[in-house]
Amino acid sequence: MGRGRGPPKSSGKTIFILFVVLLLCLSSSAIAGGGWFVFLKPPDGNGRTLPGKSTKFLLMKDGGVWKGKDMAECRAHAKNLGYPGVGHRNDTHPNNNLKNTCFFYNKIERNDFTGDEKDTVNTVACTDPTLDWKVCSRVGGAVSGHSGKHLSPQTSAKHPGNSLEECRALAKEWGHKGVGYRTIGHGNNDWKNTCFSYTDIEKSWTGNREDKAHVSACTDPKKTWPSC
């Protein structure tokens, strides 16, 4: 019998060419779709913004506490707080205390606000930089304030936490339905960046838009207050 013949010498080159073609196809599809190519390029933290400021579901008293030179920094604050919508005031704001600061939304008005080109001071966006304003997801998001009811025994002690997600981990460990986070907007420095929790959920309470000191949410990130 004749000697066996190995694979053609060109097979490795052929595989390489096919791989390059596949990458080119993926790139073209991503550019055309404008979306899912994020695994090769991280989303722009300053992208997908709208000029202006919607007043619907705006948290009214942030007080310029959260500083941010751009939308990317404000998005980071909003993510820590658990808010689905965020805004940025630039350095042309007439109030010095509000220059380069952030504001937040605990809901997003669906399709109502489309931007205000005349506003050169404010911009708004989803906290998630891969989403457009009209489809910001509120699932698992926080509401501002605290209900004052069904607070757990752990609430009376200082449990450190630098974000809603860190506090969620504690509430899950405690076996509680709801979680709370005391923000840097808290009036008492000793209680800033601490966690609390709820043993049950007060269904009639849906937040306090004027409270910048607390946020509340479901411990389960797949659920949204008050349907915990």
Largest Cα–Cα distance of the chain, in whole Å? 91
Structure tokens at 205: 């309470």
Domain ranges, ordered by start, for the chain = 49-135, 143-218
* Whether pLDDT at 169 is above 50: yes
pLDDT in tens, 109-120: 665 899 999 999
pLDDT bracket for residue 103 (50, 70, 90): very high
pLDDT bracket for residue 1 (50, 70, 90): very low
Cα gap 107→124, rounded to integer Å: 13
The set of residues, in sequence order, having a beta carbon less than 8 Å from that of 108 and lying 6+ positions away, is 57, 84, 85, 126, 133, 134, 136, 138
Structure tokens at 87: 């805004």
Q: Are residues 217 and 143 in contact, defined by beta-carbon separation less than 8 angstroms?
A: yes
Lowest mean pLDDT among 54-63, 90-99, 193-202, 206-215: 54-63
CA nearest neighbour of 140 among 174, 114, 178: 178
pLDDT at 28: 43
Q: Which string of b and e fits 31-49 if b means at least 16 CB within 10 Å? A: eeeeeeeeeeeeeeebebb
Percent of the chain past pLDDT 90, that is, above it, reads 73
pLDDT at 2: 46
pLDDT in tens, 3-55: 445 545 545 555 555 554 454 444 444 443 444 444 567 899 999 999 999 99
Pairing relation of β-strands 122-126 and 159-160?
unpaired
Structure tokens at 199: 């043993």
Q: Are residues 179 and 216 in contact, defined by beta-carbon separation less than 8 angstroms?
A: yes
Cα gap 130→113, rounded to integer Å: 18
pLDDT bracket for residue 107 (50, 70, 90): confident
